[in-house]
Structure 1
């Protein structure tokens, strides 16, 4: 027998792998499978929101209800996604200095 022989019940491991929280969902909000829900107070505002959703190709269920206040949180989160922060690359020690002195970075501004 080899040292890599699995000791234990395989069924238990498979059940553990199958259950659990799925953070990598295949269905995204705003698609045909999962449209977002939007509540607007007037018909004019509904037309404005429909134009925005068509422009960005987002699927939404828009309801007009004057008794409730406007709820466009899901639409705002899709339109205003956070962008990754990009930092400027710091020069290596042996690169020429960015101040223009002609010296190496480690001898000048480090």
Structure 2
């Protein structure tokens, strides 16, 4: 329901607006306030992950347990953040051509 068309008590609307899932969190995963949890099966793997964590300055809790399956999902998510795709802007019809001929784009390469 939109805030503009809310009918009812104003204090109820304020409570409704303030509740819900916070998508703009200031606490980031992998910091001291919210360390990630990584489960590994051996001490050698723990040493390798500690080196990665130190290099990327990520704080994590590493659990060594040979009976559990290795779980590095949170670490993989932090290391492989998706980047935004940037496309080259295509020139408008009346812009100079990008090939350097000096003609308009519509007369040269369009």
Question: What TM-score, normalized by structure 1, do the two folds share?
Answer: 0.85
Aligned to 2:62: 62
Aligned to 1:45: 45
Question: What TM-score, normalized by structure 2, do the two folds share?
Answer: 0.85
Larger Rg computed on CA atoms: 1
RMSD over aligned CA atoms reads 1.5
Instruction: Say which is worse superposed, 99-108 or 76-85, in terms of deviation.
Output: 99-108
Matched pairs, number: 104
Aligned to 1:4: none
Report the Cα distance in structure 1 between the residues aligned to 2:18 and 2:95, rounded to whole angstroms: 51
Cα deviation 1:69-105 (Å, max 9, x = unaligned): 2111110110010011010111122112123433201
Q: Which blocks of at least 5 consecutive residues in structure 2 are unaligned?
A: 1-6
Q: Which blocks of at least 5 consecutive residues in structure 1 are unaligned?
A: 1-6
Report the Cα distance in structure 2 between the residues aligned to 1:99 and 1:59, rounded to whole angstroms: 50
